[in-house]
Amino acid sequence: MYKCILRSLSLISLFIGSIWLINTIFIPKRFDGIVPMKSFYAQEKETIDVLFLGSSHCGMTIDTGVLWKDYGIPGFVLWGSGQPAWNSYYNLREALKTQSPKAVVFEVYAMKYDFEYQDEARQSMNTGAMKFSFNKWEAIKASAPRERWSDLMLGYPLYHTRYNELTKEDFLFFPNSRDLAENKGTGGCRWGTGEFELPDVSGITECKPIFEKQELYLRKMIELCQEENIPIILYVVPYCTRDSDQPYFNSVGKIAQEYDVEFLDFNLMEDTINFTAGDVWTDGGHVNTTGARKITRALGEYLKGHYELEDHRGQQQYASWNDNADMLEKEYLSVIQSKEDYFSEVSGTEYICLYAQKGDYGLTEAERSNENMIIVQEADGVLDIMPAGWKAEDNMVDPGEKFSVDLSNGISIRWEETVLLDEAGNGAAAVIYDPEKREIIDIVIMMESTNFAFEHKNTSLNTL
Amino acid sequence: MPQIKEKRIITDKGIQKAVLFFLWGIFIKMVIADRLTMFVDTVWNSYEQFEGLTLFAAAVAYSIQIYLDFSGYSYMAVGVSALFGFTLTENFRQPYLGITIGDFWKRWHISLTEWFREYLYIPLGGNRRGSFRKYMNMIVVFLVSGLWHGAEWSFVVWGGIHAAYHVVGNLTEKWRIALCGRLKINRETFSYGLWQRLCVFLMAAFAWIFFRAPTLGDAFGYIKGMFSCWNPWVLFDKSLYALGLAKEEWTICAWGMVIVLITSYIEEKGKQIGEVFCLQNIVFRYLCYFALFMAVAILGVYGPDYDASKFIYMGF
């Protein structure tokens, strides 16, 4: 009998383990819901000082790198695409199991939604990464009709058919991995804008009633934070079609007043934070990275000014926030598609830029004057660029690491023994190098053959 | 039924077999049969648009699908019963390895065949009242068997076809043996056995068309379409990949069927897979459980988008 029980338990464990393995590998690694929650679980306990919650208007606005580098605030963005308030509420409950944030910042775009349930894909994205728990069960019950509860709880029935689209990333997505710990939830970087106008909503004073279920969970969030003695700040981010939604946000303002919590309506604060239509991304609905930084800084100032938030910069326990800031910086560089914006961004970093040009195509005077720009021209011939020549600190780069630039036949750049670039014809190329981490951050080219179009090259050395 | 009153003992070996049978049953049902359903249903739902070998391929696929579907949940039932200490009788014994239609019916849905033999064929006189009555009794049993599956003429015709196979097979048996002798065909060879099995499979597949067709008219329409043109290129020009199953799905089906074929061959050689399995080391057994479970969980046809096949035989 004892043997039978033991065998049964072993089998049950085997099957539960198998389901866990399948869920870990097969869950879609979506940055707009799954990755933020998985990354949240990878954070060290009691390290997050400010927790940001909300929809894509939160995830694509809050730049945790800026918050860290400018204010020393370890923030985390727990968001999901089109996330309704009920998902934000259960995410908050989940977060409070392991973290004691000094402030919770909730983005209220969802208050314009008037549906009982979000679409099926988003139901999955907003609950799929939560750990198996009573809280997850409650979140699922709030998120979807009864017939989907079991599928959402088990997870794999929804995505087991991904077996023919699995990638390397799917197999390296295990809990507490370094990549997940470095991710603080920020939903990537975006460059560019469109021909937009931001309608003036300052004259709209009408209040429209918020959908009952959304309001219920907004109130629950506020009440939970007040029970836990955590200050909660509500905010909304500017976007192009905001005029029709402003009446809902006015209602949010009234609820905020009722509970005596702060509501930062950035739709009415554009002059204060210098926000313009150029800060709206090409989709018109979200901010680009320059817009995100403006709002993040405004929130950073507010948080620093109103709460006692310790500056954690330099503390070993918070090293992953530093890595996160570097990662976001690198990502932003990789999406910029304009020479002017690119070198302007580079000049604000600690990176070194090796700029090699052949022919008449060159930099503006302003760009030439950047301190971290090393310029190589045709007249220089074949040139080895040693670390000592780049920066005053001779020991910054290993002496074995050197760039060799040859402009005698097109543009050829080598780093150690690896050919980074070998382009024929006139033009220019820039290699962005991080002397601290000793790695290539990015490579861009502007060649005559493509009419000097600004292009990024793959920075993976193995593929060059 | 007496088993219900008997004292049942759940043994370690019983659990091992039960889990294996249950997982194996789900595997062949959900990974292979339900996958084939997607192709079969795509073709059958608008068979008028297809012709020749496409219809032929769907008929063959349905023959495999119905066997794996039915035997799949028979295995699951055997597994669940074993967990509670019950031993169910064998319901399938590699039917498509039968060398005659009679042999096929000794291996297919054994419980039903036994029931008809005991409660209809023998009371009608069986084979004790001369050849004519024997054949008449056979015809009656098969027609009733058809009606048992559903009150449609197509089921009656399906039973009638099997009765015809049976009667004609019996009547021509001596003639066929003599013909083989004259042509100096060795009937003891592997190749002859393979030929016999191929014939039985194709005959059964033809009869299944009537079983699958919603009406008798559809069955005849389907058969007419099968012989309306010669288009072997559909087997090579990837057009089958556009009929509910992509290339990867066909590959999964093919590998699944290879595994079924291997296990069928082992069983045919007189070895009981369950018994052989219990003799293996625990690590191997657990690896088998793990592999089957993972195969079902990953490759099984199920989930919110899945609405294709119910258990085919559930309706009967």
pLDDT value of position A361: 67
What distance in Å separates residue A150's CA from the closest CA in chain B? 10
Do B66 and B215 meet the contact criterion of CB atoms below 8 Å apart? no
Q: Which of B248, B286, B290 sits opposite A164 (nearest CB)?
A: B248
Give the pLDDT confidence of B32-56 residue by residue, as tens digits.
999 999 999 999 999 999 999 999 9
Does the structure show a pLDDT above 60 at A460? no
What pLDDT shows up at residue A372? 76
Query: Residue B100 carries which side chain, given as an amino acid letter?
Result: T
H helix count then E strand count, chain B? 13, 0
User: Do B157 and B195 belong to one domain?
Assistant: yes
| Contact in structure between A49 and A23 (CB atoms under 8 Å) | no
Q: Which of B165, B188, B212 is the last residue in one of the domains?
A: B212
Query: Which residue stretches of A1-63 are H helix?
Result: 2-26, 34-41, 56-59
Q: Determine contact, residues A63/A326, Cβ cutoff 8 Å.
A: no
| B9 & B62 share domain | yes
Q: Which two structure tokens, joined as six digits, stand for A235? A: 């905010």
Interface pTM (ipTM) of the complex? Answer: 0.75
Residue B71, H or E segment: helix B53-83
* Helices (H), ranges, A235-348: 246-259, 270-273, 289-306, 319-335, 339-347
CB contact under 8 A, A156 and B12: no
Residue A233 has pLDDT above 70, yes or no: yes
Rg (CA), chain B: 21
Residue B140 and residue B207 in one domain:
yes
Give the distance from CA B211 to its chain's centroid: 13
Helices B216-226/B53-83 angle, 10° precision: 130
The pLDDT of residue A111 is above 90: yes
Task: Quick: pLDDT tens for A163-196.
Answer: 888 998 888 888 777 789 999 999 999 999 998 8
Indicate the pLDDT class of residue B7, thresholds 50, 70 and 90. confident
The reply to whether B194 and B231 lie within a common domain is: no
Report yes or no on B13 lying in a domain: yes
Domains of chain A (ranges plus CATH)?
Answer: 17-327 (3.40.50.1110), 350-463 (no CATH)
Query: Are A163 and B299 inside 8 Å of each other by CB?
Result: yes
Query: Facing residues of A105 across strands?
Result: A52, A233
- Determine the residue among A14, A147, A158 to mutate to test chain B binding: the one whose Cβ has the most chain B Cβ atoms within 10 Å: A14
pTM of the model: 0.83
* DSSP tag of A403: E
Dist. CA B207–CA A101, nearest whole Å: 70
Give the pair of three-digit tokens for residue B273: 């897979």
Instruction: Convert the pLDDT of each residue in A49-58 to its tens digit.
Output: 999 999 999 9
**Helix ranges (DSSP H) in A27-98:** 34-41, 56-59, 64-71, 85-95
Contacts (Cβ under 8 Å, ≥6 apart) of A162: A26, A28, A170
State whether residue B305 sits within 8 Å of chain A by CB.
yes
Nearest to B297 among A7, A19, A151 (CB): A19
The continuous run of DSSP H or E covering B136 comes out as helix B130-149
B149 classed as catalytic: yes
Q: Which of residues 176-205 of B touch A (CB under 8 A)?
A: none
The mean per-residue pLDDT over the stretch A100-127 comes to: 95
- Average model confidence (pLDDT) for chain A? 89
- How many structural domains are present in chain B? 2
Does residue B10 belong to any structural domain of this protein? yes
Tens of pLDDT, residue by residue over B103-151, are 999 999 998 999 999 999 999 988 888 889 999 999 999 999 999 998 8
Which comes out higher in pLDDT, residue B315 or A275? A275
The verdict on B227 and B315 lying in the same domain is yes
- Cα distance between residue B149 and residue B208, in whole Å: 12
- The verdict on a CB contact (< 8 Å) between A160 and B303 is yes
Q: Are A185 and A59 in contact (CB under 8 A)?
A: yes
Cβ-contact B15, B274 below 8 angstroms:
no
The tens digit of pLDDT for each residue in A339-391 reads 889 998 998 888 888 888 887 666 777 777 777 778 887 766 666 665 444 54
Residue A237, CA atoms < 13 Å, CB-side half-sphere:
32
Q: Same domain, yes or no, for B250 and B182?
A: no
Three-state DSSP class for residue B129: coil
Nearest to A4 among B12, B248, B303 (CB): B12
B154 lies in the same domain as B53: no
Residues B182 and B288 in one domain: no
Contact B304 A158 (CB under 8 A): yes
B254 with B226, same domain: the answer is yes
Q: Is residue B252 part of a domain?
A: yes
Q: Are strands A232-236 and A411-415 parallel, antiparallel or unpaired?
A: unpaired
Find, in chain B, the residue whose alpha carbon is nearest to that of A158: B303
Query: Does B287 contact A at CB distance below 8 Å?
Result: no
| B61's tokens | 């696929």
Q: Per-residue pLDDT tens for B233-250?
A: 999 999 999 998 999 999
Contacts A–B by Cβ distance under 8 A: 48
Alpha-carbon distances of A151 from A157, A159, B295, rounded to whole Å: 6, 10, 18
pLDDT digits (tens, 9 = 90+) for B66-112: 999 999 989 999 999 888 888 888 889 999 999 999 999 999 999 89
SS3 of A427, please? Answer: strand
Q: Pull the structure tokens for residue A452.
A: 């000097």
B298 CB near a chain A CB, below 8 Å?
A: yes
Q: How far is CA A238 from CA A203, A233, B96, in A?
A: 15, 17, 69
- Give the integer Cα–Cα distance in Å for A210 and A203: 20
Chain A CB contacts of B297 below 8 Å = 18-19, 22, 156, 160
**B284 contact A CB<8A:** no
Contact B240, B234 (CB under 8 A): yes
- Mark whether B257 and B224 lie in a shared domain: yes
Q: Is residue B24 part of a domain?
A: yes
Q: Which residues contact A347 (CB under 8 A, 6 or more apart)?
A: A367, A370, A371, A372, A373
Summary count for chain A: helices (H), strands (E): 19, 14
Last residue of a domain, one of B189, B212, B235: B212
Residue B84, domain extent: 1-88+214-316
* pLDDT of B258 over the 80 cut: yes
Instruction: Report whether B197 contacts B177 (CB < 8 A).
Output: no
Q: Rounded to an integer, what distance in angstroms lies between the CA atom of residue B74 and that of residue B133?
A: 34
Separation between Cα atoms, residue B249 and residue B150, nearest integer Å:
32
Last residue in a domain, options B186, B212, B238? B212
Spell out which residues of chain A touch residue B250, defining contact as CB-CB under 8 Å.
Answer: none
User: Would you say B157 and B222 are in contact if contact means Cβ atoms under 8 Å apart?
Assistant: no
User: Are residue B203 and residue B273 in the same domain, yes or no?
Assistant: no
Residue A455 near residue A445, CB atoms below 8 Å: yes
Q: Is the pLDDT of residue A394 over 80?
A: no
Across the interface, of B11, B290, B302, the residue whose CB is closest to A18 is B290
- Does B93 fall in a domain? no
Residues B69 and B114 in one domain: no
